[in-house]
Amino acid sequence: GENVEQHPSTLSVQEGDSAVIKCTYSDSASNYFPWYKQELGKGPQLIIDIRSNVGEKKDQRIAVTLNKTAKHFSLHITETQPEDSAVYFCAASRGTYKYIFGTGTRLKVLA
């Protein structure tokens, strides 16, 4: 069946450095790719999303890139801050209600 692989599972960076999380999807019909941030004790919150007709999207310190040929998409966080520490999930959807989630990346930003 369809799946989404997410790497790395844990990531530690120094404050101010950049962090990159990568996801690879198997369903070539996927056309919507959201990213969620989950802080301790809370539900996941959407931070950015991208659709298949766009190669890159930015929102302040956060950006997502999509490579449809290679079937992967990545989250880039620049100038990381301690409050960026959380678990990040990627997901893929082929335009239906079904989302396939990655297994999550625990990001630690070291002060």
Partner 1 sequence: GAGVSQSPSNKVTEKGKDVELRCDPISGHTALYWYRQSLGQGLEFLIYFQGNSAPDKSGLPSDRFSAERTGGSVSTLTIQRTQQEDSAVYLCASSFRSYNSPLHFGNGTRLTVT
Which residues form the interface with partner 1 (CB under 8 A)? 31-32, 34, 36, 41-46, 49, 51, 89, 93, 95-99, 101-104
Residue 13 CA neighbour count, 13 Å, CB half: 23
Closest CA to 47 of 21, 13, 27: 21
**In terms of CB distance, is 84 or 104 closer to partner 1?**
104
Could you tell me the strand order of the sheet in which 56-59 lies?
Answer: 4-7, 19-25, 72-77, 62-67, 56-59
The least CB distance from residue 14 to partner 1, in Å, is 24
The least CB distance from residue 41 to partner 1, in Å, is 7
The least CB distance from residue 42 to partner 1, in Å, is 5
